[in-house]
Homo-oligomer: A and B are copies of this chain.
């Protein structure tokens, strides 16, 4: 594999207007982090580890409950391999799984624009039902709001979820240690390219389908095997690179990734090259990275391969101060949080 020129490893920092919210604030990358640090953390967080992971873990009546939320604003609503409904269920199921939890129940909050076709709403509700059944969770509570024509964009869905934490220890970026292995659950970039194709009317041949899928069964198997899961992270907005940089910064470690080990399918690679996108920053909805002690890497890989043959050990963790380096044939490059917005409204 050549060191492709389409890998724009360090996006230039965009000019920003600090007084108003911009599209990049929703990217999951650098500007989202700034928004959280400047506005939400001072208002919400009581402890430094609050708001750092995909969900919160809370003890209630002796039970260890994971709790998470996500709003879905993907455009268009329907794409190859799924729709906003499958995304709303699987995205939230996966956030619970990333807390080491067994997902139990989801909520669904709909913000619908006046004039939205009820047939589309019924189709999306059916997708949610099927996705919930496949993931073994129940949709137990919901809410519907309607906004005037021109004040929404068809449909936004919020899905929050609760689950029971299964791991003896917290799964958290703060538990990542030098010596850990980084194991990737499958090939990357499908979801982002599927949404891009649907949005721009690009006819990739063969079509690229979203990888949107529930990850809870795979995580449950890792827990069953007694693997000490230091951190799990699904690779949504901002992709693999942003997810790992976030974890490296929180844990205060240096990561080193082998570019050649990171699986990218030929259709995704080709589409990314044509569009000038970097697959490391493209969103996934059914892929995650597991950070585990080195001696557990092979067992972790064996479990992940039961679910996806493309799973791979892609790197290692060393002493450091919050950096991720990508080792390529051409040298080593520092990866950063995604700056600006590569593909807006991907989830």
Q: Write out the residue numbers on chain B whose beta carbons fall within 8 Å of the beta carbon of A126.
A: 43
In the complex, whether A78 has a CB less than 8 A from a CB of chain B is no
A73 at the A/B interface (Cβ < 8 Å)? yes
- Contact B22–A146 (Cβ < 8 Å): yes
- CB A34 to nearest CB in B, in angstroms, measures 10
CA distance A144 to B32 in the complex (A): 8
Min CB distance A279 to B, Å, is: 23
Contact with A69, one of B42, B108, B118 (Cβ below 8 angstroms): B108
Complex CA gap A118/B68 in Å reads 24
Are B58 and A104 closer than 8 Å at their CB atoms? yes
Are A147 and B68 CB-contacts (below 8 A) given A21-B113, A43-B129, A121-B39? no
- Identify the stretch in A49-57, A189-197, A284-292 within 8 Å (CB) of chain B at 4 or more residues: A49-57
Contact B148 A23 (CB under 8 A): yes
Residues of B within 8 A of A24 (CB): 146
- Is A21's CB under 8 angstroms from B158's CB? no
Give the segment of A135-143, A208-216, A263-271 that binds chain B.
Answer: A135-143
- A125 contact from B40, B63, B145, Cβ within 8 A: B40
Judging by beta carbons under 8 Å apart, are A143 and B70 in contact? yes
Do B142 and A69 have beta carbons less than 8 Å apart? yes
Chain B nearest CB, measured from A242 CB (Å): 14
Q: Does A156 contact B (CB under 8 A)?
A: yes
Contacts of A320 in B (CB 8 A): none
List B contacts of A55 (CB < 8 A): 141
Given contacts A22-B146, A39-B121, A44-B128, contact A67 B112 (CB under 8 A): no
- In the bound complex, how far is the Cα of B322 from the Cα of A335, in angstroms? 63
B39 touches A122 (CB 8 A): yes
Task: Tell me the complex Cα distance, A105–B18, Å.
Answer: 30
Q: List 8 A-B contacts (CB under 8 A).
A: A22-B146, A38-B118, A38-B122, A58-B105, A67-B141, A69-B108, A69-B109, A158-B160
The 8 A-B pairs with the shortest beta carbon distances in the complex, nearest first, are: A26-B146, A61-B63, A160-B160, A69-B107, A158-B158, A43-B125, A56-B140, A63-B63
